[in-house]
Amino acid sequence: MKIRLELERKHKYLIQSLLSCVFIYITTQNVVSLTKWHIGVLMVILVVSGSYVSHYPNIHKENFLVSVLMPLGVLSGALLSLHFFPNLSFIFKLLVIAFFGFVYYLVSLSDNIFLVVHDREETIPLYRVAVTWSQILQVVVAIPLFAGIFKINTNAFVQCFLVSFFSFLCAYYQLWIYQFDQDAKRTGVGEILFLSFSTFFFMYVTTFAVSFFPTEAFLRASFSSSVLLFALSYISGHLKNEISRKMIVGYLVIILVSLITLLVFTS
Which pLDDT tens digit goes with each residue over 97-150?
999 999 999 999 888 888 888 877 777 778 888 888 888 999 999 999 999 999
Q: What is the pLDDT of residue 8?
A: 66
Q: Of how many residues is the chain composed? A: 267
- pTM comes to 0.90
> What is the spatial distance between Cα 210 and Cα 157, in angstroms, rounded to a whole number?
12
Lowest mean pLDDT among 30-34, 161-165, 191-195: 30-34
| DSSP letter string, the chain | -HHHHHHHHHHHHHHHHHHHHHHHHHHHTTSS---HHHHHHHHHHHHHHHHHHHHTTS--GGGHHHHHHHHHHHHHHHHHHHHH---S-HHHHHHHHHHHHHHHHHHHHHHHHHHHHHHHTS--TTHHHHHHHHHHHHHHHHHHHHHHHHHSSS-HHHHHHHHHHHHHHHHHHHHHHTTT-TTSPP--HHHHHHHHHHHHHHHHHHHHHHTTS---HHHHHHHHHHHHHHHHHHHHHHHTT---HHHHHHHHHHHHHHHHHHHHT--
Res 75 pLDDT > 90:
yes
Domain boundaries, the chain: 9-122, 142-266
> What is the spatial distance between Cα 205 and Cα 250, in angstroms, rounded to a whole number?
21
Name the residue type at position 8: E
Q: What is the pLDDT of residues 221-257, one digit of tens each?
A: 999 999 999 999 999 988 888 888 888 899 999 999 9
